[in-house]
Structure 1
Amino acid sequence: MNTADEPQARPGAPVTHVLYLHGFRSSPRSFKAQRMAAWMQAHRPDVHWWCPQLPPSPREAVDLLLQGTADWPKDGMAVVGSSLGGFYATVLAERRSCRAVLINPAVEPARDLARYIGEQTAFHDPQQHFFFRAEFVDELRELHPPAITNPRRYLAFVATGDEVLDWHEMAARYAQCGLHVIEGSDHALSDFDAHLPRLLGFLGLQPSAV
């Protein structure tokens, strides 16, 4: 179900650099990150792929991303983010004027993550612990983009079955963007494979000719 006209891939330079951002307590080992990485390696090895492990501090995470993409062409770069990574993707898209694909993006992470202050474990490695500090909530609040300045740069996937975030809030935040509302599914978007072609199409990424 679509609730907004979905824009076509952006005109201009083709995508040459793709950044993938995982969510809270997640990692580059997430299912979606692995599936995208595998597709890129198999079909578009010519496109630069980067999926970093993000630090717990939001300020440090955004600084890492800005520094790591400093020499990327804004017309040729795209960022894909899931959950908290979707929030970071929005921050980056607003600062770099690049294309962004959001998957069940966090809209108010300062509010939602305040309850997680304290020691946390990583989803993909329970032996790995980190401390989510109170000041990180303030950092999220400071990073929050006040508005979406160019909705045509965005495509958002929002699942009505999301058990973590309110899909109505996500849909309202990105209502003027390319918005694909998925009936059912879940926060992890477990049926990601079914939506990958739409994501790649928005970015203008097709398998390279042999």
Structure 2
Amino acid sequence: MPTHLLYLHGFRSSPRSAKARCMADWVARHRPELHWHCPALPPSPAQALRDISAWLDARAPERCAVMGSSLGGFYAHWLACAHNLPAVLINPAVHPARDLASHIGLHPAWHDATQQVFFEAGFVDELARLEASLGPHRPPSLALIATGDEVLDWREMRQRHGQGSHLLLQGSDHGLAEFELLLPWVTRFLRLSDPAGLPPWDNSMHVCSV
């Protein structure tokens, strides 16, 4: 059972994202002894992973778990493979170097219109190097994949992460508006809650556990 839970937000997002706040609220209500860490990530992917790796190195990685959404889902997968961490991946980016190559420049932050994010051309190269340098571990992961994702291709997500436990939602969106409804499965996977009494799946959901 983890004692530390790390949550990584996506591109232009922040710790104020709806999913991060939802998960933080669940931890506060149900597992207040769990150490929750949801940092504001720098625009540089290499710097973001250096910062998080340093945070992990200062703790016992075997007692940590990681969650991430979109670009944060790619980071979570990279860190899980490097540090052997269980991971929950929410509509995770699969080829971020390709997908973000057209986003070089200045962008408004999603949750604060007064803040801006500058994505440099060199950051695409950083992502390409990260994609090519996954660590040796293949720890258990749970991928939450929405077929209605308007930003990323759900087929690529399933191809990359469908060999592990995954939940395929028919429809939904990139932000995974139904995230709160999926908390029973997320927390069970992370060994944070009792699996007894889980609500049934409906026809819009599919789960595969291996």
Tell me if TM exceeds 0.5. yes
Give how far 1:176 is off: 1.1
Aligned-partner Cα distance in 2 for 1:148–1:60: 17
Give how far 1:74 is off: 2.4
Number of aligned residues: 194
Q: In the alignment, is the contact (CA less than 8 A) between 2:84 and 2:139 conserved in 1?
A: no
Aligned-partner Cα distance in 2 for 1:46–1:160: 35
Partner of 1:9: none
Partner of 2:110: 123
| TM-superposition CA deviations, 1:134-181 (whole Å, max 9, x none) | 000000011115668555511100000101000000000012111111
Give how far 1:45 is off: 1.1
Partner of 2:60: 73
Q: In the alignment, is the contact (CA less than 8 A) between 1:17 and 1:47 conserved in 2?
A: yes
| TM-superposition CA deviations, 1:18-60 (whole Å, max 9, x none) | 0000000000000000000011011111111000000000011
Of 191, 194, 207, 2:181 maps to 194
Identity, in percent, stands at 52
> What is the RMSD computed on CA atoms of the aligned residues?
1.4
> Scaled by the length of structure 1, what TM-score is found?
0.89
Partner of 1:92: 79
Of 49, 66, 87, 1:62 maps to 49
| Amino acid paired to 1:109 | P
Q: 1:1-210 counterparts in 2 under 5 A?
A: 14-144=1-131, 151-206=138-193
Which structure would you say has the larger RCO, counting Cα contacts within 8 Å and 6 or more residues apart?
A: 1
Indicate the SS of the match to 2:62.
coil
Q: Mind listing any 5+ residue stretches in structure 2 that lack a counterpart? A: 195-210
Q: Mind listing any 5+ residue stretches in structure 1 that lack a counterpart? A: 1-13
| Amino acid paired to 1:140 | L
Give how far 1:72 is off: 2.3
Q: Deviating runs (4+, > 3 A) in structure 1?
A: 145-152
Give how far 1:99 is off: 0.7
Aligned-partner Cα distance in 2 for 1:118–1:141: 18
Indicate the SS of the match to 1:26.
coil
